[in-house]
């Protein structure tokens, strides 16, 4: 069964113009914090959603950026499903 994802808006103190954030919860557990890239320094990535930090199966040595929250949700769901398939 696919996890139920919930997105909760939050302001993030990044030290840049990137302040709009989303806490991502899977069945009530925090799995990711996303930040919308808004600073000019991000160039072509400006406006994308960046995985600021991931927890559990969303923890990665690299942080992907997503075109929109739907793409981020699909990526997170895929990671959670893979994690469930392995049996934790």
For residue 86, what pLDDT is reported?
A: 61
Q: Answer yes or no: pTM beyond 0.85.
A: yes
With a cut of 90, say whether residue 24 has pLDDT above it.
Answer: yes
Better-scored residue on pLDDT, 48 or 14: 48
Q: Where are the domains of the chain?
A: 5-86
Instruction: Give the pair of three-digit tokens for residue 5.
Output: 């994802």
Secondary structure of 31-80 in the HEC alphabet?
Answer: EEEEEECCCHHHHHHCCCEEEEEECHHHCCCCCCEECCHHHHHHHHHHHH
């Amino acid at each position: 069964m696919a996890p139920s994802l919930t997105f909760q808006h939050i302001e993030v103190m990044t030290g840049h113009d990137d302040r709009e954030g989303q806490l991502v919860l899977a069945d009530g557990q925090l799995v990711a914090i996303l930040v919308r890239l808004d600073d000019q320094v991000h160039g072509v990535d400006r406006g994308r959603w960046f995985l600021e930090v991931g927890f559990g199966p969303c923890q990665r040595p690299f942080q992907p950026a997503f075109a929109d929250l739907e793409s981020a949700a699909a990526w997170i769901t895929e990671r959670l499903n893979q994690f469930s398939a392995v049996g934790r």
